[in-house]
Amino acid sequence: MCGRFTLRKSIDVKELTGISIKENYNVAPSQDILTITDKPKFMKWSYSPSWAKEPMNLINARSETVRQKPSFKESKPCLIVADGWYEWKRDGEVKQPYYFHMNNDVFYFAGIHNDSGCAILTMEANEKLAPIHNRQPIMLKHNEARDYLNGKDRFTSSLSRRVEFYPVDRMMNSPNVNNEKNIEECKI
């Protein structure tokens, strides 16, 4: 699962997409996020099928079942621009957040979208990331991203092997806390 992420490298994002962003150290569900379909645009991070009587507000979709689930039949591929994400490791009653990044580089999450919004595709976590959480977002390199938008299922990437992570302060659990201290390593 990916319940929060970062997009803070505004200069890199501008060069990559032509879009100016405000640095965000705590992107939370239901916010408008930068995506790419046929062009860069902002979408709500919350997906609901058009037939749902009540919003389902899905933020993640399992890549293994995205083609079979009725909720995602009408979905189309999109890319979600990011430079890191958070996962929580449960230890009894305590949920410790960790920050995951790839040398602080900008990358893409594979996503799906419809008129209601978008969701991040996830996969089973690799052996390096699994001790923290059993799921991870699907990260795509630039050439893989192009293939994915053109209809190729790209549900794996070598980028996952380059991910680094460390614990961060639990203050970031609040979506109202949005500054560079969110990604500072802390002692646990």
Catalytic residues: 2, 87
Distance (Å, whole) CA 86 – CA 148:
24
Beta-strand relationship, 24-27 and 4-7: antiparallel
CB neighbour list of residue 150: distance below 8 Å, 6 or more residues apart = none
Calculate the alpha carbon distances from 46 to 9, 114, 125, 139, 170 in Å.
Answer: 23, 10, 22, 19, 24
Strands (E), 9-65: 24-27, 32-36, 40-44, 60-62
Beta-strand relationship, 139-140 and 164-167: unpaired
Strands (E), 21-143: 24-27, 32-36, 40-44, 60-62, 76-82, 84-91, 94-101, 107-114, 117-124, 135-137, 139-140
Helix (H) or strand (E) holding 11: helix 10-17
